[in-house]
Amino acid sequence: MDLSIVGVGHVGLVTAAVFADLGHRVVGLDDDRDKLDTLLAGDVPFHEPGLPELLERVVADGSLTFTDDLSVAVDHGEVIFVCVGTPPLPGGGPDLRFVERVGREVARHATRETVLVEKSTVPANTGVRLTQVIAHELEVRRADATAADPDDVHVHVASNPEFLREGVAVKDTAEPDRIVYGTASDYARDKLREVYAPMVERVGCPVVETDVPTAELIKHASNAFLATRLSFINAVANVCDRVGADVELVAKGMGHDARIGHAFLNAGLGYGGSCFPKDVDAFAHLARQVGYDFGLLEEVRDINVGQRQVVLDRLRDELWHLQGKTIAILGAAFKPGTDDLREAPALYLAESLLAEGATVRMYDPVALDGVAEVLPEVERIDDPLEAARGAHAAVIATEWPQIAGLDPSDLKAALDYPIVVDGRNCLDARAAIDAGLHYHGIGRGHLRVR
């Protein structure tokens, strides 16, 4: 099929590459000329394992091409996927102007029956609004006697949320655990069935076919529930610290219950990234708009933010005050496998430490260039032990293998004060204590320095 992807950021670029690899003819559209030049030069503008190799293959065989000309993309795509950003607004809702703009432009340029698919994360009933915008633009075209025959043009709006995880985005897109799409017409449903037929045949994943608002809500509900699990286990961890229990064993015991499972029960610094914080706020905002007080989501967010304060409190307990102290933060990206710093707990910690007069050093295997852009005051070091050398304490903020695999004895030898706050519970706690470190995990109050 002929597909167009509007917006080749993280979601759009991975989607475009995977669709091209399935055998579709794909055009990726973006108005950022620098980004397109980077892609045409064979580079990827962000870190995503496996994506450079996949892009090289599908670009070389002509399955995927790029353009900054909207009319080219609209003319090419019988199905057009909207993968533009929906950044948060001050009130918690998403900024949908880019989605609206795409709808207007597609309606102005379409020359045939077209399916416009929301893949960007949007609140329920965005499809209704988008359909209204498109209908208005088509009426304007039909009223213009000089316009090219628009009578046969119809734009069907559909929703097809993505569920990829940064760091494993290629695998998640190519081998999804489910495909969800919502449509308002048989035509749109049949087209999306055709788009995904090769993937369904190869992977055998379940397909959920529904209406547009339900598909939109599935994405927000999924992310909000996963965020709730993380905040729940972090609240449990705070209780564990106070009663001398081990949150890892609590989570293990819980997870053996088939109704609960083990996923997303890892206590730590809390979630970050571009999805969970934004989607939790957007879902709560949507609920308020329709007259429902979804207080649970407000608490989920508050617990998540509070986890960063737990780490700062432990540093103050150990060091008395932070003025003039040197703190090594090991890990910058919000999770391993990506260079994404959006809502990264490490940046929150760094900003708080700097505000209290501390010197901050930071290590990350892929994200230091981004740190330089947003926090130039932070000293950036490309080796974790060098970052810790002479520091008063180290905080583990991202569970990169290069950090989790550190020998506790080497870490103790590097630090000026043997203090480690393991914000991801990724070190062997007993080995750290045996090496002489003042080890602080999250929810591991049963462990004490000998």
Total count of domains within the chain: 2
Question: Which pLDDT value is given to residue 394?
Answer: 98
**What pLDDT score does 260 carry?**
98
Last-in-domain residue among 184, 210, 236:
210
H or E element: which one contains 318? helix 295-319
* One domain for residues 290 and 151: no
Select from 210, 232, 263 the last residue of a domain: 210
- Residues 54, 145, single domain; the answer is yes
- pTM of the full predicted structure? 0.93
How many angstroms separate the Cα of 44 from the Cα of each of 55, 267, 314? 9, 32, 39
Type and span of the H or E element at 82? strand 79-82
What stretches in the chain show pLDDT beneath 50?
A: 449-450
Which residues are known catalytic residues?
Answer: 275
Residues 277 and 145 in one domain: no
In a domain, 116, yes or no: yes
Domain for residue 223, yes or no?
no
Task: Tell me: do 433 and 365 sit in the same domain.
Answer: yes
Residue 385 lies inside a defined structural domain of this protein: yes
Pairing, β 326-330 against β 2-6: unpaired
The interaxial angle of helices 126-143 and 97-109, nearest 10 deg, is: 30
Question: pLDDT at position 445, please?
Answer: 80
DSSP 319-387: HS--TT-EEEEE--SSSTT----TT-HHHHHHHHHHHTT-EEEEE-SS-HHHHHHH-TTSEE-SSHHHH
94 and 187 together in one domain: yes
Shared-domain flag, residues 254 and 192: no
One domain for residues 348 and 393: yes
CA angle, 273 then 276 then 278, to 5°: 90
- 159 and 264 part of one domain: no
pLDDT at 450: 43
pLDDT tens by residue, 325-343: 999 999 999 999 999 999 9
Residue 153, domain member (yes or no) = yes
CATH code where residue 265 lies? 3.40.50.720
Question: What is the distance, to the nearest Å, from the Cα of residue 143 to the centroid of all Cα atoms in its chain?
Answer: 43
| pLDDT given for residue 181 in this prediction | 98
Using DSSP's 3-state secondary structure scheme, residue 197 falls into helix
Q: Which residue range forms the structural domain that includes residue 46? A: 2-210
Please report the pLDDT score of residue 78 as a whole number: 97
330 neighbors 384 (Cβ within 8 angstroms): yes
